[in-house]
Amino acid sequence: MKLKKYIAASMIALAGLTACSDSFLDTDYTEYLDEEAAGEAAGKNPDVFLNGMWSWMVTFGQTSTSHDDFGYMGSLHATDMMGQDICMAASHWFNFDYQLDNRMEAYRRTKCHWVNFYTMIAKANEIISLYPEGGETVSQKGLLGQAYAIRGLSYMHLIQLYQFTINESGNINTDAPGVPLIYVDADGKTEEEIASAKGRNTVGVVFAQIEADLLKAVENLESGYERPSKNYIDASVANGFLARYYLLSQQWEKAATAAAKARANYTIMDSSSSGLYDGFVTVNNVEWMWGFAHTTETQTTYASFFSMISNIAPGYAGMGYAPRLIDAKLYSQIPEEDGRKKWFNGPEGDKNQPTAAAQLPYANIKFGHVSDWTDNYMYMRAAEMVLIEAEAYAHLNQGSKAAEVLKVLMNKRQPSWNKATVTVEDVYLQRRIELWGEGFSFYDLKRLNKGIDRSYEGNNHLAGYDIKVDAHDVRWIYQIPLSEIQENKLINAEDQNP
């Protein structure tokens, strides 16, 4: 038997760069690796496969040479710019995302999302194919668990980007057309099932696959696997993915349980320590669960998350091309005694900040900078898990339990906070404050059936971008890339999103 092997980014120096095929779901561009050789390679150095994954996720220019195309964090930032809470002080990279006008089939953004996540799936499938009977050793199970986790995470992003997973009544949009599922022989599917799944599977079918993948991830990673660093995924992170999925799929009790399990061995950083004000640049922060520790070889300077988000870094934001500000109305909702208010300037600005961009009114100084551009990328932290758990209890109408959980976070942010009960809206406000700029706002707006209104009196959004977009407006879903419509025989023009 031969196994299709995708060229891992970590092996580029040895194997040479292989370009993607015209169809992002086409797996025929892969090279073949004999099963015995593949197993031997994985046994000797399983990190080869995982490093290829982590490298891909931070790769600049996945689909173009544009500086707004820098992997996973590029996708998160593009969607974040579509929300209410981040303002651009000038038009520059991501301005079309900010205007909610970057979704059409021929536009670059949808291609960026599609290539990013389907390549992550391809790389996960590479690993899954190595062990068609499942892993035997702890190392093999650790490798498999991380592959299933990445595949589940990728589908979770894709289904939200390309469909409304929640209908206008607030229920799961089960029968709506979703996204292709890419199976391998190790999934136990027939050739016919593998082929037909490359069409638009329903939201319900995609949801089922996400849950199955993430449950396999947790099962494998709980077998005794210990990761060498936070670049890797362990059982806590896999449970964090499950918590995100259960929140999305409205399985509230499971969401609360998974989130509590995910954060069990982490500490919420204290507002009196340097942690809250360290610029969110290091995975060594006690609260970070998963991230990527950049080196001088992996950093991408101007084409990077910190170039876009940090008003302190000498990138596009910090040099004044497009400083990132907090929405004025959201800023006004942060109490003065809340330590997170120091993440942002007030309406008067702050002349003591090191750059002109960071001195602006409402400028964010949450994100800092490391001199050699090795700012670490944050993918998950324990505060998010507290917020998931609290929101889940609020959805269950257990307001007092939700408040008890939320207090775990608020004790470290606003010690005077002492609510006896909280609602979903209370938790949502804390998500907006706590996770500002971290890539959650678009997904929260969609799953909670919310729109945006930047047109309020006194808003600080860039003129022409101070728009109002209702929930379920077509601008909240991306069209499938035109090249996929042209190349994938199971998706035609009639299957395209409006």
* H helix runs in 420-498, sequence order: 424-434, 441-447, 482-487
pLDDT at 64: 80
Q: Which of 265, 151, 142 is nearest to 209 (CA)?
A: 151
C-alpha radius of gyration, the chain, whole number:
22
332 token code pair: 């006004």
Whether the model pTM is above 0.85: yes
CA distance 302 to 317: 10
Helix (H) or strand (E) holding 49: helix 47-57
Q: In angstroms, rounded to a whole number, what is the distance separating the alpha carbons of residues 396 and 382?
A: 22
Torsion angle defined by CA atoms of residues 22, 26, 29 and 31, in that order, rounded to the nearest 10 degrees: 160
End-to-end CA distance of the chain: 43
**Residue 304 falls in which region: left (phi positive, over 0), alpha (psi -120 to 50) or beta:** beta
Side-chain-side CA neighbours of 305 within 13 Å: the count stands at 31
Question: Widest CA span of the chain, in angstroms?
Answer: 67
Beta-ladder partners of 381: 288
Say how far apart CA 27 and CA 24 lie, in whole Å.
8
Walk along the chain (498 residues) and give the pLDDT tens digit of each residue.
Answer: 222 332 233 332 223 222 333 344 443 323 334 445 555 555 556 678 898 999 999 998 888 888 999 999 999 999 999 999 999 999 999 999 999 999 999 999 999 999 999 999 999 999 999 999 999 999 999 999 999 999 999 999 999 999 999 999 999 999 999 999 999 999 999 999 999 999 999 999 999 999 999 999 999 999 999 999 999 999 999 999 999 999 999 999 999 999 999 999 999 998 776 789 999 999 999 999 999 999 999 999 999 999 999 999 999 999 999 999 999 999 999 999 999 999 999 999 999 999 999 999 999 999 999 989 999 999 999 999 999 999 999 999 999 999 999 999 999 999 999 999 999 999 999 999 999 999 999 999 999 999 999 999 999 999 999 999 999 999 999 999 999 999 999 999 999 999
- Asked whether the beta carbons of 348 and 361 are under 8 A apart, the reply is yes
Position 65 scores a pLDDT of 85
Q: How many CB atoms lie within 10 A of CB 441?
A: 24
CA angle 30–32–37, rounded 5-degree value: 135
pLDDT at 353: 97
Task: Give pLDDT, residue 273.
Answer: 67
**For residues 405 and 259, what is the distance between their CA atoms, to the nearest angstrom?**
11
